[in-house]
Amino acid sequence: MDMEAIPVIAIGGSTAVAIAVGLLFWFFQRHQTAQPNHLPPVPEVPGVPVLGNLLQLKEKKPYMSFTRWAEAYGPIYSIRTGAISMVVISSNAIAKEALVTRFSSISTRRLSKALKVLTADKTMVAMSDYNDYHKTVKRHILTAVLGPNAQKKHRVHRDIMMENLLNQLHTFAQKSPQQEVNLRKIFQSELFGLAMRQTMGKDVESIYVEDLGTTMNRDEIFQVLVVDPLMGAIEVDWRDFFPYLKWVPNRKFENTIQQMYTRRQAVMKALIQEHRKRIASGENLNSYIDYLLSEAQTLSEKELLMSLWEPIIESSDTTMVTTEWAMYELAKNPKIQDRLYREIQQVCGSEKVTEEKLAQLPYLNAIFHETLRRHGPVPIIPLRYVHEDTVLGGYRVPAGTEIAVNIYGCNMEKVVWENPEEWNPERFMVEGDETQSLELQKTMAFGGGKRVCAGSLQAMLISCIGIGRMVQEFEWKLKGKAAQEDVNTLGLTTQMLHPLHAIIIPRK
């Protein structure tokens, strides 16, 4: 409290004593609240005045810096990003404490300005606070798209997607033998088609966007709905770090993000209008939009639009990142690829790898889990906000602090993972019993607790079947020297710096 700011007034002696006692009581109560159980504060990473640790986080891969600092300052430490205090967690045990045990104290989000705009102020499951709205829209998406029963209903769409993918790979191998295929280009396009069929009932080749006065082709639609928002999500507004200066204009940033938002809204609005025309003509496609229009009539137009956009962007990106990394590692490690092929041959014979066979393919599952651990698509869980004083890792964490759970750092934790830098699927095979794999949650790849990722089942099904089918039908090789292993942050996910280019040889 700034004592100079308190006005000097004439008061009686008894009143002064009462006020003094009240102030002392307030001070000690506040002191007690700020120090639960008199625990020590979280260790701090030294920074500079005003800026804190901002200059040390200039790269757009903060999870790397966070992991390096964990080696020096421990699995939990605090940093300052301008005026904001942030606690960074790079430990499986403390991450689970934050996501599960202390969930009630840190269940809300504090979004950057870019994310606040792009998510229409938290109007989507992944970025909303844990409240009634979150529970409602999550129930909708699990019921109609991502839950077990919905996944059974959408099995036909996944099968179509997988056949399209393999057919394109066979066509390429036949027409361009010994040439390198760009897996990302083909796979990402097919994932986008799957997302559109599940959400809007059918894929789209082009659409007239009335609000923009133009017709967009499929690539342009993908750019607006997926690529631009992912890039916009990591746009930095310096005012995020200095909230007391939020009144200062930052026109270039504001215009860039607002344009992304406006174009995305216009395209989604056009897709919804197109679907309503199909409904009026009597066409029923049994998709997510059909479900929402009939079962979620309490949603506003903006909430409906965001609910439909969310499965499109999420289905089109993270699964691609995981599958591409897995195929890169298999192409780089022919012995592991051969072992997987032999397992598939033993279980499936001449039949194709199917979802029913996954439980009998432990090594395939181990490859999926290990890829999630070593190359997890979401390296940092979207920031949480501590709205009441709490305790983490034996330290006191005051209200107002941001929490960054560094999933990448958790999966590089040497006390949990032996030689964590090495990609080794063996670590997910139970010793002495190769018919089982360790639990998925150990990697923290899909978060944990009440906010565990709703799309984990779909991601596992698509990625595992994709990896299995591509190894079953092709031998994968890297041309010459193995591609440089590097990542580039694209929105909220990590992906290979360059798309995977590999030689594929059809198996006899």
In the chain, the largest separation of any two C-alpha atoms, in whole Å, equals: 99
The alpha carbon of residue 427 and the mean position of all alpha carbons in its chain are separated, in whole angstroms, by 24
Contacts of 435 (CB under 8 A, 6+ apart): 362
- Assign residue 423 a region (left: φ > 0; alpha: ψ between -120 and 50; beta: otherwise): beta
The alpha carbon of residue 423 and the mean position of all alpha carbons in its chain are separated, in whole angstroms, by 21
DSSP 109: E
Residue type present at position 333: N
Residue type present at position 418: E
Neighbour-count burial of 15, counting CB atoms closer than 10 A to its CB (0-12 exposed, 13-18 middle, 19+ buried): exposed
| 337: nearest Cα among 319, 364, 358 | 364
Residue 384 parent element (H or E): strand 384-385
| 181: nearest Cα among 481, 468, 507, 505 | 505
User: Can you tell me which residue has the tokens 């939020």?
Assistant: 246
Cα–Cα distance, 499 to 182 (Å, whole number): 7
φ, ψ for residue 102, nearest 5 deg: -100, 20
| 224: nearest Cα among 189, 185, 265 | 265
Residue type present at position 138: K
Cα–Cα distance, 145 to 153 (Å, whole number): 9
Contacts of 491 (CB under 8 A, 6+ apart): 229, 230, 231, 232, 233, 234, 317
Cα–Cα distance, 328 to 170 (Å, whole number): 18
Known binding residue 348? Answer is: no
DSSP secondary structure string, 48-73? BTTTBTGGGG-SS-HHHHHHHHHHHH
Q: Where are the beta strands (DSSP E) in 47-165?
A: 76-81, 84-89, 108-109
Binding residue numbers for heme = 453
Binding residue numbers = 453
